[in-house]
């Protein structure tokens, strides 16, 4: 029996299940045997979910729209370029997004027919797909480390874009702006790396103390080793920061006379990084992009105004 609901919601639920199913089928051609076995099990689950929603909404929708087809091809291209690591990140990201999406809908339609229908889907997400995807991701990659790299890129880009804008407002001279921005970028990278090292080193010491305590008390200890090592983490975080910082700095290095080119290049990079971060963490992609664009707009506006005020009040010039 079909249920009357918002047609837009019905279309979205069906298309997203169809997208996941199409992606899992396509990924079989770029993965090894162990991953293919997991994908085969995921394909069975997604086929059941798709058929369920088509019956629930009495819909025969079987074709992806243009946006999802484009997204599918982009993800496949990335997976072909970066191999198993990209595949496992994609699987985990889709799982996280699916759980958050269905939980949100379940809260909205709790006690209604759609809410009851979502309970079965969520049980599959929790009990079946999550276990299968975790089997792969735990063996192959550390998703948290990948996210930290992208966050470092994002921080370096936004902070140094603000610095470049402020320096142009105060000095107006590209050479001076370049020197000041590079100095700030290096200092920021060292600060980020030192912070990451100190935080993980402290965590390592706490974990070792807890391990020794449990050993003394005769309790089950497990392992005292950490997945992330302080020095390696500091290197990745600092390196990601400096790479992100180069996005607004390079236009100045190649002759830009104001902050406009840096703003455009940084805006494009922010959209890309925001999309990747949102995808990996299960966030709404449009919301993440909008949030970061608002942040860089505020950063550029405020720092440029500060630079102009400094130039006017204290006669900062070159």
**Whether pLDDT at 189 is above 50:** yes
Q: Report how far residue 49's alpha carbon sits from residue 14's, in angstroms, rounded to the nearest whole number.
A: 9
**Whether pLDDT at 193 is above 90:** no
Hey, what are 268's tokens? Answer: 């494009």
Three-state DSSP at 313 gives: helix
Comparing 24-38, 124-138, 237-251, the range with the smallest average pLDDT is 124-138
Count of Cβ atoms closer than 10 Å to residue 98 Cβ? 22
- The owner of tokens 């050993």 is 215
**Which of 16-25, 119-128, 196-205 tops mean pLDDT?**
16-25
- What is the end-to-end Cα distance of the chain in Å, rounded? 76
Read off the pLDDT of residues 135-148 as tens digits, 9 standing for 90 and up: 665 555 555 666 67
Q: Report how far residue 1's alpha carbon sits from residue 182's, in angstroms, rounded to the nearest whole number.
A: 65
Catalogue the long-range contacts made by 225-229 (C-beta closer than 8 Å, 24 or more residues apart): 226/200, 227/142, 228/142, 228/144, 228/145, 228/200, 229/200
Where residue 5 falls among pLDDT bands split at 50, 70, 90? low
Question: Between these two residues, 217 and 112, which has the higher pLDDT value?
Answer: 112
Where residue 69 falls among pLDDT bands split at 50, 70, 90? very high
Average pLDDT over residues 222-243: 79
**Whether pLDDT at 129 is above 70:** no
In this prediction, residue 134 carries a pLDDT of: 63
**Whether pLDDT at 96 is above 80:** no
Hey, what are 24's tokens? Answer: 């899992």
**pTM (2 d.p.):** 0.67
What's the chain's average pLDDT?
82
**Whether pLDDT at 19 is above 90:** yes
Question: Between these two residues, 8 and 313, which has the higher pLDDT value?
Answer: 8
Q: Report how far residue 27's alpha carbon sits from residue 46's, in angstroms, rounded to the nearest whole number.
A: 14
Hey, what are 191's tokens? Answer: 């600060």
Question: Between these two residues, 135 and 271, which has the higher pLDDT value?
Answer: 271
Contact by Cβ (8 Å): 34, 84: no
Where residue 318 falls among pLDDT bands split at 50, 70, 90? very low
Read off the pLDDT of residues 213-225 as tens digits, 9 standing for 90 and up: 777 777 776 665 6
In this prediction, residue 2 carries a pLDDT of: 45
In this prediction, residue 225 carries a pLDDT of: 65
């Amino acid at each position: 029996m079909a249920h009357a609901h918002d047609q837009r919601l019905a279309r979205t639920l069906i298309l997203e299940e169809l997208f996941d199913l199409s992606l899992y089928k396509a990924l079989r051609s770029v993965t090894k045997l162990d991953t293919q076995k997991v994908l085969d099990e995921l394909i069975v689950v997604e086929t059941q979910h798709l058929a369920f929603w088509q019956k629930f909404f009495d819909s025969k929708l079987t074709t992806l729209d243009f946006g999802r087809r484009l997204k599918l091809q982009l993800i496949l291209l990335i997976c072909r370029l970066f191999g198993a690591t990209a595949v496992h990140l994609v699987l985990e990201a889709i799982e996280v997004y699916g759980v958050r999406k269905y939980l949100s809908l379940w809260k909205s339609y709790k006690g209604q027919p759609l809410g009851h229908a979502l309970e079965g889907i969520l049980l599959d997400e929790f009990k079946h797909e999550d276990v299968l995807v975790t089997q792969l991701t735990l063996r192959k990659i550390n998703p948290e480390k990948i996210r930290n790299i992208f966050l470092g890129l994002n921080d370096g880009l936004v902070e140094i874009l603000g610095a470049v804008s402020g320096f142009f407002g105060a000095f107006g001279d590209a050479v001076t702006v370049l020197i000041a921005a590079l100095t700030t970028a290096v200092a920021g990278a060292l600060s980020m790396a030192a912070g990451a090292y100190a935080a993980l080193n402290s965590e390592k010491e706490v974990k070792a103390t807890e391990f020794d305590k449990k050993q003394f008390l005769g309790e089950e200890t497990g392992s005292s080793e950490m997945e992330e090592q302080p020095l390696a983490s500091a290197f990745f975080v600092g390196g990601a920061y400096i790479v992100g910082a180069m996005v607004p700095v390079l236009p100045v290095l190649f002759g830009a006379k104001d902050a406009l080119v840096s703003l455009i290049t940084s805006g494009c990079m922010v959209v890309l990084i925001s999309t990747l971060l949102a995808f990996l963490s299960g966030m709404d992609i449009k919301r993440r992009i909008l949030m970061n664009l608002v942040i860089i707009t505020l950063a550029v506006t405020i720092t440029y105004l500060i630079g102009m005020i400094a130039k006017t009040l204290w006669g900062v010039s070159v």
